[in-house]
Amino acid sequence: MVITIKIDKESNDYIYYWVGKNIAKQRKLKGWTQRVLAEKCNFTTTFISNIENNSEQTFSMNTFYYIAKVLGVHPKVLLEDLED
């Protein structure tokens, strides 16, 4: 069962929400599981899951850039705002 949590755009956490959703989108476009992305980044699957699901997970700009690089996308792709 997947629980979707909508974050208010005025919240300081919104950027983590939409970046996490964009990471999940790009990962799925590559046909990768969270485990595959985690292994390629040398992170834990739990860490990737928490980022993608906005589970109180913050991360550094270095981590953000590294994930974009591993996914083979420009970082700005992960910063694109979500459609309402």
Contact 50, 57 (CB under 8 A): yes
Looking at residue 40, its pLDDT comes to 98
Question: Is the pLDDT score of 28 beyond 90?
Answer: yes
Looking at residue 2, its pLDDT comes to 46
Q: Tokens representing 55?
A: 């589970």
Nearest to 81 by CA among 37, 26, 19: 19
Task: Give me the percent of the chain exceeding a pLDDT of 90.
Answer: 67
Looking at residue 33, its pLDDT comes to 98
Per-residue pLDDT band at 8 (split at 50, 70, 90) = low
Which pTM does this prediction carry?
0.85
Contact 25, 37 (CB under 8 A): no
Higher pLDDT, 2 or 42: 42
Looking at residue 15, its pLDDT comes to 87
Walk me through the domains of the chain, giving residue ranges and CATH numbers. Answer: 19-78 (1.10.260.40)
As to burial, measured by CB atoms within 10 angstroms (0-12 exposed, 13-18 middle, 19+ buried), residue 25 is: middle
Residue 28: its H or E element:
helix 14-29
